[in-house]
Structure 1
Amino acid sequence: MDHYLLCISIIWITTLISSGSAIRCYQCSSDENKTIDSCGAYESFDSNANPLVDCMSEDAVSSGTFCYKSIQQGPRGFIWDGRWRTVIRRCAQVTETGVNWGCAWGYRENGVYWEECYCAKDGCNAGNSLVIGKSMFLLTCLSTFTVLLLSIL
């Protein structure tokens, strides 16, 4: 029982050390402007045109502790407000699919492909890949080390 208390204490302390400020994410939606691709639905995402938003500020559409990126793409010939692909980037509080780091994807009944990605590093919802933060890496290393240490004892 003492080993589990030690493990939980290490994880808690690591979380306190790494949570000094609010996360900053890109915030945009391809639904905002149907004539200009400002969110990277068809062209490369322009991080200069979309500044980072502090997820705990009034500027954030939704407050949160994660960055979120959603892609929806219709099947060939599917017309969706004149477009076949939408992208949303914003802050998120709770993951809707249970994924805390990484992406989940699937197909809806109408054939629309969807992908939702969550990450916890400043600006991590900019591109196609997710970048692991130093605090997440440290937490993973400490947890692994603690489990190995407890298995030896």
Structure 2
Amino acid sequence: MEFRSFWVVFALLFYIPTNTAIKCYQCSSDEDPKGEDLCGAYARFDERTHIAVDCFHDESVTPGTFCVKITKQSPRMFIWDARWRTVIRRCSSVTETGVTNVCNWGVDPMGHYWEECYCTSDGCNGASSVVISFVSMTLCLLATLLLRN
């Protein structure tokens, strides 16, 4: 009887579905070589030249169960007017609000715009939609300022 139960347990181990980790892009525009925009701070992020990393593998900067894209930029109006922008893409396991598949944005006390987008599908933090939402956010802020006066 003991020998039989060993084989049952052994066989069940092969039928238990393994949970695969999510794969996310990871890069930081702060680490880009001078004069290059590999992480998509100013130009479109090229998903073909990057490889999404398994979030529970040693290559992952941070382990996690979902992806995050964090964008920050200075408050100046034009890029040629010395405005800076930084983008970080990585795995994550904690959100400020506890909600995934959403973007949160705001302005910090120093006047820097920030946006954090959390998502739960492989490679989802490679999307360039955040740039569009920053434009929308800027237009909303301008409209608010103009309507106040």
Cα distance change on mapping 1:103 and 1:77 into 2, 3 Å:
closer
Supply the AA of the counterpart residue of 1:112: H
Distance in 1 (CA, whole Å) between partners of 2:87 and 2:57 is: 22
Matches within 5 A, 1:85-96: 85-96=85-96
**How does 1:29-68 map onto structure 2 within 5 Å?**
29-33=28-32, 34-68=34-68
SS at match of 1:87: strand
Letter of the structure 2 residue corresponding to residue 128 of structure 1: S
Indicate the residue corresponding to 2:27 in structure 1.
28
Q: CA deviation at 1:96?
A: 2.8
Q: Distance in 2 between matches of 1:47 and 1:83?
A: 25
For 1:95-134, list aligned pairs within 5 A: 95-129=95-129
1:83, CA displacement in angstroms?
6.0
Q: Deviations over 1:19-38 (max 9, x none)?
A: 83100000000001242100
Which segments of 5 or more consecutive residues in structure 2 lack a partner in the other structure? 1-15, 131-149
**Bigger helix share:** 2
Shift in Å at residue 77 of structure 1?
Answer: 7.2
Residue 114 of structure 1: how far off its partner (Å): 0.3
TM-score when normalising by structure 1: 0.66
Identity of aligned residues (%): 56
Which secondary structure does the structure 2 equivalent of 1:72 belong to? strand
Letter in 1 for 2:55: C
8 Å CA contact 1:72–1:115 kept in 2: the answer is: yes
Checking the alignment, whether the CA contact within 8 Å between 2:29 and 2:37 is kept in structure 1 is: yes
Relative distance call for 1:41 and 1:110 in structure 2 (3 A) is same
CA gap 1:25/1:32 in 2 versus in 1, 3 angstroms: same
In 1, Cα distance between equivalents of 2:86 and 2:97:
19
Structure 2: distance between partners of 1:116 and 1:67:
10
**Other structure's SS at 2:75 match:** coil
Residue deviations 1:28-87, cap 9 Å, x none? 0000124210000000001122211000000000000010000001011799xx761000
Take 1:22 and 1:98, find their aligned partners in 2: how far apart are those partners? Answer: 19
Give per-residue Cα distances to partners, 1:105-140, cap 9 Å, x unaligned.
00011110000010110000011349xxxxxxxxxx
Bigger Rg, structure 1 or 2: 2
Give the paired residue count. Answer: 112
**Contact persistence 1:28–1:50 (CA under 8 A):** no
